[in-house]
Amino acid sequence: MEKNNLLRMDNVSIVVESLDDAISFFEEIGLSLEGRTTVEGQWAGCVTGLGSQRVEIAMLVTPDGHSRIELSRFLTPSIVSDHRNTPVNALGYLRVMFTVEDLDEMVSRLIRLGAQLVGEVVQYEDSYRLCYIRGVEGLLIGLAEQLGNK
């Protein structure tokens, strides 16, 4: 008997140094700030295994309302590792992919704000145009434009 209790994926969490810069970057892509708060205390540390912690978080939502990114800035304990410039073939978190209407316009706008194109904009068959960019704080972001039936 197959058992499936999964309802949905709630969010992807990204730890950042500057919450304001990261919020601005994801708003430029098209997400909206849903809320911002500070989470602290022993209960939160029990979930993460970090003990007592204080974390400033912001939740951003995609235009369709189905996907969210949680940005976290740890006030305590301090950051212990930095993966922001990890190459795309490293183990662990790789990137978040967003579907956009006009890939060239989005890439141009993000580059004007300091993002860098990782490789090239490529076309996959007659389906998609794709690229990776490094945005604020070195975050790796995938962008895709669906071709044909949009």
Query: Strand 68-76 relative to strand 128-134: parallel, antiparallel, unpaired?
Result: unpaired
Entry pTM: 0.86
Domain of residue 116: give its range.
Answer: 96-146
Label residue 114 exposed, middle or buried (CB < 10 Å: 0-12, 13-18, 19+): exposed
Judge if 16 and 72 occupy the same domain: yes
Q: Apex CA 27: angle with CA 23 and CA 28, to 5°?
A: 120
Judge if 29 and 61 occupy the same domain: yes
pLDDT (tens, 9 = 90+) of the chain, 150 residues, equals 677 776 788 889 999 999 999 999 999 999 999 999 998 877 777 778 788 888 999 999 999 999 999 999 999 888 888 887 788 788 777 789 999 999 999 999 999 999 999 999 999 999 999 999 999 888 889 999 999 865
Question: What CATH code is carried by the domain that includes residue 41?
Answer: 3.10.180.10
Q: How far apart are CA 127 and CA 1, in angstroms?
A: 37
Number of domains in the chain: 2
Judge if 107 and 61 occupy the same domain: no
Judge if 68 and 20 occupy the same domain: yes
Around Cβ 67, how many Cβ atoms within 10 Å? Answer: 17
Query: 33 in a domain, yes or no?
Result: yes
Q: Apex CA 124: angle with CA 12 and CA 116, to 5°?
A: 55
Judge if 21 and 64 occupy the same domain: yes
Judge if 29 and 68 occupy the same domain: yes
